[in-house]
Amino acid sequence: MIDTSTPTIVTPQVLLTSHLKTLKLPTFAREYEKVGIECAHEDIDYPRYLLRLCELECIDRQRRNTERRIRLAKFPITKSLDTFDFTAIPGLNKSLVLELMRCEWIDKRENIIALGPSGVGKTHTALALGLAACQKGMSVAFTTAAALVHELMEARDERRLRVLQKKLTNVKLLIIDELGYVPFTAVGAELLFEVFSRRYEHAATMVTSNLPFDEWTSVLGSERLTGALLDRLTHHVHILEMNGESYRLATSKKRQKQTMQSKPSEENIKPK
């Protein structure tokens, strides 16, 4: 029996969409028709039409890649320097922080150590620098010191320590937050030291701590290990001194004061 049915006709639009999907050009596929109409109205030639589509694809791809890097960094929250109150920490070198936001120190494989009591903005600064690095196309990993040591010990027990160590060594910027809040066991301290040792002059590291250097032994448990760690960490380093009153505490006091002032005093309330 001869099949007399009408053959399926594949339109150019369907083929074009398929090819663009294969070439991984989603913005081309989404925008080519609309941009084509715009260019026709503006009497723009084909090269400029393609240029406009290429620019849109590049912008969108850069945005998607940045979002992916931010997601992989595992920031607890996304923060930029736009919301940082430098006036609350007058001792902080603002010009240095702004210079570090350019991320040249990361390419130079240098380190940052932010020191100061709880609540002065160390984590905020670290998150802002991490975000800036993601926006400049650099891989970033964010973790707390306690979480990192726990992950290292778990990886050792499960015989996947080398894989994790390689991952931690190759990330462009490793941010270790809150070093000093939880003391480590001897094994945990040694595993953490190994992370710093592997990254020494290989990649950039940022550490935040509530303790001055001479008290790091209380966390790492060994003067020898602490000395060796600081020797590597401070060789090429920018130190951010962030001493001052807790920003969170000051904000809480200010809010409480405003609440008290907004309440009418009992003396001014007249009985009906």
Instruction: Please check the confidence at residue 48 and state whether its pLDDT lies above 90.
Output: yes
Residue 179 host element (H or E): strand 173-179
Q: Give the helix/strand (H/E) hosting 56.
A: helix 46-73
* pTM as predicted: 0.83
pLDDT at 1 over 90: no
pLDDT tens digits for range 64-76: 999 999 999 999 9
Residues 126-146: pLDDT tens digits? 999 999 999 999 999 999 999
Q: Which range (87-91, 219-223, 235-239) has the least confidence?
A: 87-91
Q: Is 77 helix (H, G, I), strand (E, B) or coil?
A: coil
CB 176 within 8 A of CB 147: no
**Which residues make Cβ contacts (< 8 Å) with residue 113, sequence separation at least 6?**
206, 207, 208, 209, 233, 234, 237, 238, 239, 240
Query: How large a percentage of the chain has pLDDT more than 90?
Result: 75
Q: Which of 221, 238, 218 is nearest to 185 (CA)?
A: 221
Which tens digit of pLDDT belongs to each residue from 182-226? Answer: 999 999 999 999 999 999 999 999 999 999 999 999 999 999 999
pLDDT tens string 100-129: 999 999 999 999 999 999 989 999 999 999
Q: Map out the domains of the chain with their CATH numbers.
A: 14-62 (no CATH), 74-250 (3.40.50.300)
**pLDDT band (50, 70, 90) for residue 14:** confident
